[in-house]
Amino acid sequence: MERKRMAQVATYFAVAFAAFLFWQSRHNTTPPPQPDMPPPPSSLPAFPHAASTVLPDPARFFSRELLSAPLPTNSFFQNFALNNGDQPEYIHPYSVKSAAAALTVCYPKSVHSPSFHAQTFVADLTISSPSDAAAPHRIYAFDDLSVTLDFSPSLRAFLVRGSPFVTVATAGVPVDISLVSVHAFLEAAPRDGALTRWRLRMNSGQTFLLYASAPIRLSMTSVTQLAAPGFGGVIRVAFLPDAAMEAVLDQHSGCFPTGGEAALNRPFSVDYTWRTDGSGDLLMLAHPLHLRLLSKDRGVRVLEDFRYRSIDGDLVGVVGDAWALRTDPVFPTWHSTRGVSEDGVPEIVAALRKDVDDLASSPITTASSYFYGKAIARAARLALIAEEVGCPDVIPAVHRFLTAAVTPWLNGSFEGNGFLYDPIWGGLVTRQGMTDTGADFGFGIYNDHHYHLGYFVYAIAVLAKIDPAWGREYMPQAYSMVADFMTTSRQAGASDYYPRMRTFDLWKLHSWAGGLTEFGEGRNQESTSEAVNAYYSAALLGLSYGDAPLVSAAATLTALEMLAAQTWWHVREGDAIYEGDFTGRNRVVGVVWANKRDSGLWFAPPEWKECRLGIQLLPIVPISEALFPDAGFARDLVRWTAPALARDGVGDGWKGFVYALEGTYDKESALAKTRELASHDDGNTLTNLLWWLHSRGSPGAAAAAAGGGTTAHGMLLDMLAAEPALVSS
């Protein structure tokens, strides 16, 4: 019992320290520096410059004024900056395409089956000026919530995410306007005497409303084309899902957003503010996670009956030009939040000693930044587990292994690969990726940066924890890695070398992968758990360096990424977000795209369910229990997966993740199966699985299995409430 109490006390102190950092961040105070610890370095890249031969030239599509700063590589409008720039992007609630000096707006329809759920693109309404010659569009401006596109010399589009209107402005002088559809127009009629409101009814059954800042005279030149001569001003078009919504669109048509920002100034908060023009109150649309987190303290008004259909769930009207989103806190900890059961310690220690001994006889042989990162993070887990189970004598061996394995990647001496800085787009690439787009899973073209770097940051955080002198020496490289995928500041200096929030989407509230590759379905993300691991690891790095703002920002992104995973990747029976045939056959999505949901994976077909489960759980770390807090859902997911384990060729590594999740509701069964495994995933060990399983089975887990559910951060808050002296001290 004494060992268990010591583990609990260690957890209390870890949580108290994290809570103290959050309190300081919330109150804008500066944490006391650690002894001899320098302040966080500037965002200098800390790696040699690269001369990539495979990256596209951003000058083709970005305006000259934007080229002097780092550029986005995983954004919601990335297709607009790649190849011909003519692939559509989903800018809720519309899919938008820019090509041949025209802007095409589509209110997408849903197609679905048991294996996928997608939105189709149809050229519902195309806006152009006939006198403009075809030329590549220009990205004039962008921010967290919008992109401004000069899609022709005469016309500029303000594409703001969540706006029920698409807004187009002329470039000062009156121009001729053309509206074309693949559908036949049945009606193009003014709705007011001033000729500023029009109804466009099509033979597809669709109705669009058009609003103009000045009189516009539309005439039908063919059944599929409307023309308006000499118009100057602003045009707004909106799809009308239901006739009852017309009055709301009329009421809010005068105020249009031109851009928007998402602030991360407070822990576990995202604050939206939109820049607007025109008159009246701003009407926007919120997706399901927005609605879950939306605070009413900004005076916003939710219009429950004003809804647009979306692959992400219904988008609901919200009136107000400033939103406050609040999530429950998550306190990142080094060790398990429940503590390891006393009777499990001997088994863990026996496996730990063997796994640590194997480090010396099993050097890392890969040069892949992804697999190498998994290997060093796997070793770092052994040091933390040794701390938790009271086995400090093995930590020096882990320390030696990590120092020898990690340092060459930071000082440039690693043979065969390494990190370099690309000054064109602004970010880290690998030496292999400079000449090969497929190397390191596309890291050199900005794919999966948070996955790869998250593993490196985890190992660096642990090494800096157990060896502060090493941590001080390689602090610039550590911060450069974090800055590459989660630069949060807009201030000069902090964002001179890396774009703001390379991978995290502040409107969808989760990360994207894909990088500088054109996809018809937009950006995508497969492994939510590796995304969670990236931000969790950044928080641990902040704990190592006593950096309260980093801990706060990273923990906030960790919390949001987990909520998004539970909203769009985890599929519960009876969920209303996806259609019934897809929901009925799936308990977890393989890949979430901007415009599609796939049951398959990049590396496995849909029937390999153990891979789908595993890729949404690995790596197993303390934050994993907050990602899967509901043991009832875990039971459903494991039962759904179990038949796939009988297939020939299923690897023990993937089975280990299934058993780990089974352990959240049936520890003994999971332990028995885990002990029979002959091998483990390359980022996992028997020690880590035993640590996980022997820290399950608390009363909270039993309650969750009964249907109540609990979360790691709720448990930590309970512990803080039970030990207030730890916080006050």
Segment 643-663, tens digit of pLDDT: 999 999 999 999 999 999 999
* Burial class (CB within 10 angstroms; exposed 0-12, middle 13-18, buried 19+) of 728: exposed
Q: How far is CA 404 from CA 59, 198, 254, 451, 664, in A?
A: 41, 70, 63, 22, 36
Is the distance from CB of 132 to CB of 153 less than 8 angstroms? yes
Name which residue leads in pLDDT, 42 or 466.
466
Q: Identify residue 328 by its one-letter amino acid code.
A: D
Q: Identify residue 319 by its one-letter amino acid code.
A: V
448 is catalytic: yes
d(CA 133, CA 584): 50
Q: Which pair of tokens denotes residue 541?
A: 């790095």
Confidence at residue 26, expressed as pLDDT on a 0 to 100 scale: 46
d(CA 157, CA 148): 6
Catalytic residue among 124, 347, 448, 662: 448
Q: At 229, is the secondary structure helix, strand, or coil?
A: strand
Catalytic residue among 530, 598, 630, 666: 530
Give the mean pLDDT of 330-346: 95
How confident is the model over 211-246, as pLDDT tens digits?
Answer: 999 999 999 999 999 999 999 999 999 999 999 999
Confidence at residue 19, expressed as pLDDT on a 0 to 100 scale: 58
Is the distance from CB of 145 to CB of 262 less than 8 angstroms? yes
Confidence at residue 255, expressed as pLDDT on a 0 to 100 scale: 98
Confidence at residue 15, expressed as pLDDT on a 0 to 100 scale: 56
**Cis preceding-peptide flag for 136 (omega within 30 of 0):** no
Mean pLDDT score of the chain, rounded to an integer?
A: 91
Confidence at residue 706, expressed as pLDDT on a 0 to 100 scale: 29
d(CA 303, CA 207): 21
Reported in sequence order, the residue ranges of 463-531 that DSSP labels E, i.e. its strands, are 504-505, 510-511, 524-525
d(CA 609, CA 571): 13
User: Of how many residues is the chain composed?
Assistant: 729
Reported in sequence order, the residue ranges of 551-628 that DSSP labels E, i.e. its strands, are 591-593, 596-598
In sequence order, the 6+-apart residues with CB closer than 8 A to the CB of 591 are 524, 525, 526, 597, 598, 600, 601, 602
Which has the closest alpha carbon to 596: 79, 108, 162? 108
Is the distance from CB of 89 to CB of 76 less than 8 angstroms? yes
Confidence at residue 496, expressed as pLDDT on a 0 to 100 scale: 87
Is the distance from CB of 682 to CB of 378 less than 8 angstroms? yes
Sign of CA dihedral 160, 163, 168, 171: negative
Give the chain's end-to-end CA distance (angstroms, integer): 25
Inform me whether the pLDDT recorded for 296 exceeds 90: no
Inform me whether the pLDDT recorded for 298 exceeds 80: no
Q: What is the arrangement of strands in the sheet containing 255-263, beginning at the earlier edge strand? A: 255-263, 269-278, 322-326, 294-295
Confidence of residue 493 (pLDDT cuts 50, 70, 90): low
530 is catalytic: yes
Inform me whether the pLDDT recorded for 368 exceeds 50: yes
Confidence of residue 479 (pLDDT cuts 50, 70, 90): very high
Q: How far is CA 200 from CA 125, 180, 189, 204, 239, in A?
A: 10, 11, 7, 11, 9
**Looking at the DSSP assignment, which residues form a beta bridge with residue 403?**
none
Confidence at residue 29, expressed as pLDDT on a 0 to 100 scale: 39
Task: Give the phi and the psi of residue 627 in degrees, each rounded to 5.
Answer: -75, -35
Confidence at residue 94, expressed as pLDDT on a 0 to 100 scale: 98
- In which residue are the tokens 């706006």 written? 163
Calculate what percentage of the chain has a pLDDT beyond 70: 89
In sequence order, the 6+-apart residues with CB closer than 8 A to the CB of 339 are 4, 7, 8, 11, 695
Is the distance from CB of 670 to CB of 659 less than 8 angstroms? yes
Confidence of residue 571 (pLDDT cuts 50, 70, 90): very high
In sequence order, the 6+-apart residues with CB closer than 8 A to the CB of 464 are 470, 471, 474, 475, 478, 541, 544, 545
Q: How far is CA 641 from CA 559, 614, 668, in A?
A: 26, 10, 19
Q: Which pair of tokens denotes residue 303?
A: 């219009």
Is the distance from CB of 311 to CB of 110 less than 8 angstroms? yes
Give the mean pLDDT of 511-533: 97
CA 45 to chain centre: 23
Q: Which pair of tokens denotes residue 110?
A: 């849903």
Name which residue leads in pLDDT, 296 or 591.
591
Is the distance from CB of 444 to CB of 421 less than 8 angstroms? no
Is the distance from CB of 300 to CB of 318 less than 8 angstroms? yes
Give the mean pLDDT of 55-72: 97
d(CA 40, CA 541): 11
Inform me whether the pLDDT recorded for 601 exceeds 60: yes
Task: Give the phi and the psi of residue 628 in degrees, each rounded to 5.
Answer: -120, 70
Confidence of residue 495 (pLDDT cuts 50, 70, 90): low
Inform me whether the pLDDT recorded for 708 exceeds 60: no
Inform me whether the pLDDT recorded for 371 exceeds 80: yes
Is the distance from CB of 592 to CB of 115 less than 8 angstroms? no
d(CA 536, CA 207): 46
Inform me whether the pLDDT recorded for 728 exceeds 50: no
Which string of DSSP letters, residue by residue, matches 371-423?
HHHHHHHHHHHHHHHHHHTT-GGGHHHHHHHHHHHHHHHHHT--TT--EEEET
Is the distance from CB of 332 to CB of 558 less than 8 angstroms? yes
Q: How many CB atoms lie within 10 A of CB 493?
A: 10
Q: At 5, is the secondary structure helix, strand, or coil?
A: helix
How confident is the model over 617-634, as pLDDT tens digits?
Answer: 999 999 999 999 999 999
Is the distance from CB of 17 to CB of 721 less than 8 angstroms? no
> Which pTM does this prediction carry?
0.93
Confidence at residue 661, expressed as pLDDT on a 0 to 100 scale: 98
* Burial class (CB within 10 angstroms; exposed 0-12, middle 13-18, buried 19+) of 173: exposed
573 is catalytic: no
**Maximal C-alpha separation, the chain:** 86
